[in-house]
Structure 1
Amino acid sequence: MTWTVNGCLVALAILFAWRVEDFAEACSCSPAHPQQAFCSSDVVIRAKVVAMNKVDVGNDVYGNPVKQVKYDVKLIKMFKGPVMDIEAIYTMEYLITGTPYPPTPLLRTYCSDGNVHVTLCDFIEPWDAMSPIQKKSLPERYHMGCDCKIVRCETLPCALHADNECLWTDWVLENYISGPQAQHFACIKRRDGSCAWYRGAAQPKKDFLDIEEP
């Protein structure tokens, strides 16, 4: 089954059946907060890989055969996107590097010729590895802050430059990207148009924490 969306850039939150192993990525990619991946996506799903096969997709510019790995998936839940089924995801064979799929945080993909593709700079998070707040945020929190801008702090000092920004400091304070803000916070828009980090599974208060700190 082929799948198309308007504008080809999509993102997925996916449950995979296999165990994730660490490996050194061959490219350098700009990290994204899970909310950024959600908001920039056309589609967000939870799915399970049921099969993997190598498929021929033609030749490169030098005439060498090009293979892709096709993952047949079973859709468990659609968090965002059109009401339709997604049955397969593709990645280039040379990106596998001994692992069944690229084990990076959420999955941002692109579509080409109606198919969903994964690259080394895309994002995957096994469902069991997601925090309870992240799971709750997928259907109920992240969309409340898609008008906000999450700004990653790379070195200190760093500061916000607009009211609609949330400063993401996991890298400088925790020395890794999947820190407390990525695991437990969503950047949500307040009634006055400003944005602030919100932590918790409960629905944000109507005054949107104008006085309280998250």
Structure 2
Amino acid sequence: MPYVSGFIATLVVLILCRVEEIAEACSCSPVHPQQAFCNADIVIRAKVVGGKEVDAGNDIYGNPIKRIQYDIKQIKMFKGPDHHIDMIFTAPSSAVCGISMETNGKKEYLISGKTDGNRNMYVTLCDLIMPWESMSATQKKSLSQRYQMGCDCKITRCAALPCLTNTPEECLWTDWVTEKIIHGRQADHYACIKRVDGSCAWYRGSAPPKKEFLENEDP
């Protein structure tokens, strides 16, 4: 039955192609903005003023590696080295975690990423990349001091109830179970801060915590 055999062969090819597409897709676990800040080597506010594809050497098989180079105008550095960042690099497509940004210089971004130790900054879809205008006032204020104050704490994402913390140094991130969104109230308005007794708790507001720490405080 050549028709059936041909159909099965085609189906197998389609399945294999789909499996390959899934294997190549970029996958990132959701993280709280503070956790993304703490995980990053560099966090800056910048405009993107240009972009182009560049060669980045060859892989172990001799195939050329492509990268997208974004030329940027740094506005402020919140975390990183003592020199300006003039360009960032990312993978050429979202399938391999590359990011896409507007290059007309009109939109400001918060950009976090890693450094290779050679003054180069690399970013992926798993890093915190946000239009500056979309950030809350608390998030913007927290970049200068508060997020760093909680980098010794651990933010644990609650994906389904019940959720429990294992240590006093954890803050439970419940936006997904309470609001069904990743960027909810805790992501937009709270930071996980270490208290004087070594434990960690959520703190709300744009001002630095008072000496007498309160677990939840309005701006």
Same fold, TM-score > 0.5, yes or no: yes
Aligned to 2:92: 93
Change (3 A) 1:106 1:75: closer
* Separation of aligned partners in 2, 1:164 and 1:64: 46
* Aligned AA (2:151): C
The answer to which structure, 1 or 2, has the higher relative contact order (CA under 8 A, 6+ apart) is 1
* Separation of aligned partners in 2, 1:99 and 1:118: 7
Q: CA deviation at 1:213?
A: 6.4
* Separation of aligned partners in 1, 2:89 and 2:154: 30
Give the TM-score of the pair, scaled to structure 2. 0.75
> 91-100 vs 37-46, which deviates more?
91-100
Q: CA deviation at 1:100?
A: 3.1
| Deviating 4+ runs (over 6 angstroms) | 96-99
Count the aligned residue pairs. 187
Q: CA deviation at 1:177?
A: 0.8
| Between structures 1 and 2, the one with greater helix share | 2
3-state DSSP of counterpart to 1:171:
helix
Contact 1:149 1:165 in 2 (8 A): yes
Give the TM-score of the pair, scaled to structure 1. 0.77
Residue deviations 1:169-205 (CA, integer Å, cap 9, x gap): 0111111111110000001111111111111123322
* Aligned AA (2:113): T
Aligned to 2:149: 144
Contact 1:31 1:177 in 2 (8 A): yes
* Aligned AA (1:207): E
- The structure with the largest alpha-carbon Rg is 2
Tell whether 2:114 aligns with 1:110. Answer: yes
Change (3 A) 1:55 1:167: same
Residue deviations 1:87-117 (CA, integer Å, cap 9, x gap): 1111122338997339xx9754333472222
Aligned to 1:15: none
Tell whether 2:170 aligns with 1:171. Answer: no
Identity of aligned residues (%): 60
Aligned to 1:14: none
3-state DSSP of counterpart to 2:36:
helix
Q: Gaps spanning 5+ residues in structure 1: where?
A: 1-24
Change (3 A) 1:159 1:146: same
Query: What RMSD, in angstroms, separates the aligned Cα atoms of the two structures?
Result: 2.7
Aligned to 2:205: 200
Aligned to 2:80: 81
* Aligned AA (2:148): H
Residue deviations 1:128-168 (CA, integer Å, cap 9, x gap): 11100000100021112111111111110001121111100
Aligned to 1:36: 35
Q: CA deviation at 1:37?
A: 1.3
Tell whether 2:193 aligns with 1:188. Answer: yes
Q: Gaps spanning 5+ residues in structure 2: where?
A: 1-23, 103-108
* Separation of aligned partners in 2, 1:142 and 1:122: 15
> 127-136 vs 50-59, which deviates more?
50-59
Change (3 A) 1:191 1:112: closer
* Separation of aligned partners in 1, 2:150 and 2:117: 31
Aligned to 2:160: 155
Contact 1:49 1:74 in 2 (8 A): yes
Contact 1:188 1:195 in 2 (8 A): yes
